């Protein structure tokens, strides 16, 4: 299957590199040149080419992947002549299928939320609705998660927005450790090892998250104390409020 990407940003780059190291490596990929530097770099990979225009991408592919920023989506997509039966996969946050159908006339549209880890085939990618071709692509990039309900899909989208907060938490912890006299390099090295290992536990152990928290918190110990202080200080409520705000935004309410 010939894949066409309109938009050559970070996620497109991760997907293309991941696909070229997957069971679908022989599938041709044609890219738009919206980011010329990224497109030129990816074109060094086997069976990856850069088209002269966005319409040329559409004309050369069997499945079209839209990966432009929401702010420019309409201006980029509306002028395209897309065959009604051409499968379309949208990676554009907050852009509903009905809107895309109105802009393009396409009849087979799904949405997906790939994260950078797909390059290493470690991604879990929600696909709504579970279009067969999209499911095959994201299964090759890690795990394809079929989603049949829009509200559930939007909840996954909100959850995916926790990446910055995860690193922000480590950033704050590192700064606190530096204030106690550690070098930034030593503090960061320690936290990278700690949280990298916890990520391995999370992947390898299917236990409930609450159980994992208890397993890593001695009764009356420091881990238990810090989590209790975090919750008592409003950390849990703040996280819930932030996720709700993200959920509302991707639903188009804000």
Of the three residues 128, 158, 188, the one that is the final residue of a domain is 158
154 and 167 in a single domain? The answer is no
- Same domain membership, residue 82 and residue 63: yes
On whether both 96 and 184 belong to a single domain, the answer is no
| Domain identity same for 107 and 195 | no
pLDDT band for position 150 (50/70/90)? very high
Token pair, residue 98, equals: 């009905």
Check residue 34 and give its pLDDT.
Answer: 77
The pLDDT of residue 222: 97
pLDDT tens for each residue of 37-70: 999 999 999 999 999 999 999 999 999 999 999 9
**136 in the same domain as 48:** yes
The confidence band for 137, taking pLDDT boundaries of 50, 70 and 90, is very high
- Tell whether 168 and 82 lie within a shared domain: no
Mean pLDDT value across the chain: 95
In the chain, what's the furthest Cα-to-Cα distance? 64
Determine the pLDDT at residue 36: 86
User: How large is the average pLDDT for residues 137-145?
Assistant: 98
pLDDT at 236 over 70: yes
User: Which domain range does residue 238 map to?
Assistant: 163-250
Q: What is the CATH number of the domain that holds 236?
A: 1.10.3730
> Has residue 197 got a pLDDT over 70?
yes
Number of domains in the chain: 2
Asked if residue 88 lies in contact with residue 108, where contact means CB atoms within 8 angstroms, the answer is yes
* Closest C-alpha to 63, from 24, 102, 13: 24
Residue 253 pLDDT level (bands cut at 50, 70, 90): low
- DSSP reduced 3-state for 115: coil
**Which candidate, 53, 138, 124, 42, places its Cα nearest to that of 89?**
138
Residues 64 and 176 in one domain: no
Edge to edge, the sheet with strand 3-6 lists: 48-50, 29-31, 3-6, 63-66, 88-90, 109-112, 123-128, 142-146
**Start-to-end CA span in the chain (Å):** 38
Q: Do residues 146 and 198 share a domain?
A: no
> Are residues 66 and 88 in contact, defined by beta-carbon separation less than 8 angstroms?
yes
Q: Is the pLDDT of residue 17 over 70?
A: yes
pLDDT > 50? residue 138: yes
């Amino acid at each position: 299957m010939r894949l066409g990407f309109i938009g050559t940003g970070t996620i497109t780059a991760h997907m293309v590199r991941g696909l070229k190291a997957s069971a679908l490596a022989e599938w041709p990929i044609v890219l738009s040149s919206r980011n010329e530097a990224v497109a030129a770099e990816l074109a060094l990979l086997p069976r990856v080419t850069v088209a002269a225009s966005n319409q040329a991408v559409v004309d050369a592919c069997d499945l079209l992947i839209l990966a432009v920023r929401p702010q420019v989506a309409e201006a980029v997509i509306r002028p395209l002549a897309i065959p009604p039966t051409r499968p379309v996969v949208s990676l554009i946050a907050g852009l509903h299928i009905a809107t895309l159908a109105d802009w393009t006339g396409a009849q087979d549209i799904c949405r997906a939320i790939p994260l950078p880890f797909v390059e290493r085939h470690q991604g879990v990618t929600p696909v709504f609705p579970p279009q067969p071709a999209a499911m095959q692509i994201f299964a090759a990039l890690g795990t394809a998660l079929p989603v049949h309900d829009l509200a559930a899909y939007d909840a996954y989208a909100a959850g995916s927005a926790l990446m910055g907060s995860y690193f922000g938490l480590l950033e704050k912890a590192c700064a606190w450790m530096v204030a106690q006299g550690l070098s930034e390099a030593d503090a960061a090295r320690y936290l990278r090892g700690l949280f990298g290992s916890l990520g391995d536990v999370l992947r390898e152990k299917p236990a409930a998250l609450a159980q994992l928290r208890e397993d890593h918190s001695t009764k009356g110990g420091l881990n238990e104390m810090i989590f209790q202080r975090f919750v008592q200080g409003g950390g849990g409520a703040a996280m819930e409020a932030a996720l709700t705000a993200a959920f509302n935004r991707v639903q188009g309410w804000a």
